[in-house]
Homo-oligomer: A and B are copies of this chain.
Amino acid sequence: MQTLQVDLGERSYPIHIGQGLLTQSHLLRPHIHGKRAVTISNTTVAPLYLDSVQNALEGFTTSAHLMPDGEEYKTLDTCNTIFTHLLENKADRKTTLIALGGGVVGDMVGFAAAAYQRGVNFIQVPTTLLSMVDSSVGGKTGVNHPLGKNMIGAFHQPQCVIIDTDTLNTLPDRELSAGIAEVIKYGLIRDTEFLAWLDTHMAQLVGRDPEVLAEAIFRSCQHKAEVVAADEREEGERALLNLGHTFGHAIEAAMGYGNWLHGEAVAAGMVMAAEHSMLMGWITPAEVQWIRELLQRANLPIEPPSSMTGADFKQYMSVDKKVLDGSLRLVLLQKIGRAIVTTDFHEGALNQVLNREL
């Protein structure tokens, strides 16, 4: 097992990464401060792992609440079913929620924890690669609105993150690939050495080699923890983590949540950001091609949906959280391994990218 610390003063917490951690109750128990723990999962993950978690909670007053599986259920209404469960079970302010599942579960349970009785503790137990390397770390929580992704939410840090890499054995291939998109992202924005490592190990990563997976997760979480510690509320550097996300969110929203996986949309979005960076003269066509091929080897899409027009993109991008006071801010690549947030991009270059006139 490897352990990382997210350094946020009195809100600091550990990330444990390793095999078979779900059954190691001594990892979970010190982070539950009251008498009651409520595990919240979905109908896909619960049959596989809920029993392990509930066994590890022996001695606490426990209950479990299941939600339907899918991004399309990441709504205020589903969140309300969590509140109803908590109230029916008379959960008090010292209750700890345990989010068992992927990013949708983690984001929703985190927001429910932020809002229930104005804030209770929660623990992240991510079971998808995407949530292990991204959403379970850093305290961004929330739900979607029909008019925009993650538009309703809170910053609320977990008490700890427990990453049991064994849970990846049951993850569908498509979701594994979606997670790899966010792994590649860390390399693109801040670590060329990691990119080279990924280039060398991509086949083993896609083939679920346990040691390669664990290393990729560890290095991704390390990046995430560093960025979050430096800028918890995304007033600066943290925005770099959104490489590909402004385009990606537009794809997810336009196609209907859940049809494109988040990581798939981010992969296509990162290609668009790379193309935009190329049009700015910052990276070369060969580098864009190298990025495309790396993503393709991870079985990820490298083009936005052909049904989306430039106008579609603009409609959805105009309400993106990266918009500040009406001016669009984009994350682009100044070079491979260094991202920047900028409002100073050529409108014409953006239009070329959105209209696929490359």
Interface residues of A, Cβ cutoff 8 Å to B: 34-36, 76, 79-80, 83-84, 87-88, 90, 92-94, 111, 114-119, 140, 142, 145, 147-148, 151-155, 233, 318-319, 321, 323-326
B contact residues around A87 at 8 Å (CB)? 145, 147-148, 151, 319
Number of copies: 2
Q: Smallest distance from the beta carbon of A163 to chain B beta carbons, Å?
A: 24
Contact of A76 among B34, B76, B92, B321 (CB under 8 A): B76
> How far, in whole Å, are A157 and B142 apart by their CA atoms in the complex?
20
Q: Are A119 and B154 in contact (CB under 8 A)?
A: yes
List of B residues within 8 angstroms of A148 by Cβ: 87
Known contacts A83-B145, A140-B118; A94 and B154 CB within 8 A of each other? no
Interface of A: prevailing SS: mixed
Question: Which residue of chain B has the shortest Cβ distance to A142 in the bound complex?
Answer: B118
* Residue ID in chain B nearest A95 by CB atoms: B325
* Neighbouring B residues of A92 by C-beta, 8 Å: 319, 321, 323-326
Residues of B within 8 A of A116 (CB): 151-152
A140: chain B residues within 8 A (beta carbon): 118
Instruction: Considering the complex, give the chain B residue whose CB is closest to the CB of A34.
Output: B325
CB-based contact B84/A154 at 8 Å: no
